[in-house]
Amino acid sequence: MFKSSWTYHEAPESTDHIQIKEQYELYINGAFTKPVEGKYFDTINPSNNQKIASIAEASKKDVDKAVKAAKKAFKGWAALSGKERGKYIFRIARLIQERAREFAVIESLDGGKPIRESRDIDIPLAANHFFYYAGWADKLAYAFPNRKVKPVGVAGQIIPWNFPLLMAAWKLAPALATGNTVVLKPAETTPLTALKLAEIIHDSGLPKGVVNIVTGAGATGAEIVNHPEVDKIAFTGSTGVGKYIQNAIAGTHKKVTLELGGKGANIIFEDAAIDQAVEGIINAIFFNQGHVCCAGSRLFVQESVANVVIQKLKDRMETLIVGDPLDKNTDIGAINSKKQLQTIENYIKIGLNEGGEIYQPNCNLPKKGNWCAPTLFLNVSQSHRIVQEEIFGPVLAIQTFRTIDEVIEKANNTPYGLSAGVWTQTGSKIFHLTQKLNAGVIWANTFNKFDATSPFGGYKESGFGREGGLHGLSSYVTFD
Ligand code: NAP
Ligand code: MG
């Protein structure tokens, strides 16, 4: 994901011909609709903190309209043959591909991630997700052999700001393939690609009301969660809001899946291919500014190779380019919001106060906007807050270990259980660790690799339910 240390000059990605409106409305019942209470909020470009556009803020009444539209559309959509539903989903996938450049530029403008990542990872993966689930729509009998399945009904879907289009794809594609209708809310700081997606969905001719997109902040999300006619909640976001949602729906008929936070362990054994492992560490923590639920934010290096790995890591960090998200040479873009930057800076202070030894390379951070230098901490232990708590930024906590049992114990010792990475040339060690590590996804000799065919989800406070792959269909069906 990250380029090697040499650079060449290419012009920043141009924003010419990228259509961004001054004001965006809600997408309800197949129409772009003004919010009932007439409120709008700004979406900001985090690389300069300037306003990009005004976005409609959905109130309780708007959410109610969207849920009613989804409910009305449900019968017809669920009754369509899988083949017909699949055709629409394929069309959406194709339209994303056709407008991939536009999506990539808007994603980087609105959210701050490097254009190389949105262009090469987020947008292609989002299209793939629709392709993959389009393929399942007429094969549900094979997905659930000898079971009679029905869609759940109206799905309320709430997503975070770190992979805006991709998370929308993860939510929408399996819900549509199985015959559900949807009310989706993107995060307040990154609504633009979901609204572009609404335009594409409109162009695809999808029957009205099948997908409704309502923008707003946490209060809009809560209105979806609490609406009595929503049958399923699919949420990706923080563990705190996940707990609120679980409480809010206790005792109701609603089904729920929660994809929450993480504190992934990335484990480097002495027999690993060290240079590759160093690239893997960089990718694990600095990809998307570390705004990644499954980031490898805790590094465990076997003691015998710790000095060499840490030195190489510091050298490599010196070459990382922090800056304009639209510049194709950029490795680390802007921090998504002022608020998130404050959270990260606060954790850096906490790390220092706890006695951690900090290292940051000499990099020139731009003057305007939200920026954080890639950061690592040495001299930390299991009880440190920066080892236990999710920072959601480019901050790595490094510890060493001697034995396999020790590293398994340490890796599992957090409230989370979302991801882990293992670097070794020994296959048996990989199999041993994949059995012992309490994580939904474990990568071997790679990190942060995503694929539509592969299930993703957590244990413990990282949530429950799986998205992606065959497993991702289950939470959108009920069994007779
Ligand atoms: P967040 O604050 O929990 O927000 C997630 C979404 O929930 C946003 O759309 C948010 O709206 C909305 N929301 C906030 N309060 C709500 C409420 N009371 N009821 C209903 N919805 C509410 O999380 P975030 O800061 O956006 O995202 C970062 C977190 O997401 C991290 O903890 C990360 O680990 C997690 N994450 C997990 C996965 C995974 O697959 N496990 C993937 C990506 C991210 P507004 O933002 O508009 O206020
Ligand atoms: Mg923004």
Q: Say if residue 3's pLDDT is above 60.
A: no
* pLDDT recorded at residue 6: 46
Ligand 1 centroid to Cα of residue 226, in Å, is 16
Ligand 1 centroid to Cα of residue 456, in Å, is 17
Cα 116 from Cα 121, distance rounded (Å): 8
Cα 212 from Cα 346, distance rounded (Å): 37
* pLDDT recorded at residue 7: 47
- Domain at 23-260+462-479: CATH architecture: 3-Layer(aba) Sandwich (3.40)
Best of 241, 291, 347, 450 for a ligand 1 pocket test (most atoms within 8 Å of beta carbon): 241
- Domain at 265-451: CATH architecture: 3-Layer(aba) Sandwich (3.40)
* pLDDT recorded at residue 4: 46
All structural domains of the chain with their residue ranges: 23-260+462-479, 265-451
* pLDDT recorded at residue 236: 98
User: Which are the catalytic amino acids?
Assistant: 259, 293
Q: Say if residue 9's pLDDT is above 80.
A: no
Q: Say if residue 107's pLDDT is above 70.
A: yes
Which are the contacts of 84, defined by CB distance < 8 A and separation ≥ 6?
A: none
Dump pLDDT digits (tens) for 61-94: 999 999 999 999 999 999 999 999 999 999 999 9
* pLDDT recorded at residue 17: 78
% of the chain with per-residue pLDDT over 90 = 95
**Does the CB atom of residue 410 touch ligand 1 within 6 A?**
no
% of the chain with per-residue pLDDT over 70 = 98
* pLDDT recorded at residue 1: 54
Q: How confident is the model at residue 12 (pLDDT cuts 50, 70, 90)?
A: confident
Q: How confident is the model at residue 18 (pLDDT cuts 50, 70, 90)?
A: confident
**Does the CB atom of residue 244 touch ligand 1 within 6 A?**
yes
Dump pLDDT digits (tens) for 292-340: 999 999 999 999 999 999 999 999 999 999 999 999 999 999 999 999 9
Q: Contact at 8 Å (CB) between 285 and 296?
A: yes
CA distances from 244 to 249, 385, 467 (A): 9, 23, 21
* pLDDT recorded at residue 480: 81
* pLDDT recorded at residue 10: 60
Mean per-residue pLDDT, 431-454 = 97
Sign of the dihedral defined by the CA atoms of residues 57, 59, 62, 63, in that order? positive
| Ligand index nearest the alpha carbon of residue 162 | 1
Mean per-residue pLDDT, 149-163 = 98
Do 23-260+462-479 and 265-451 have matching folds? Answer: no
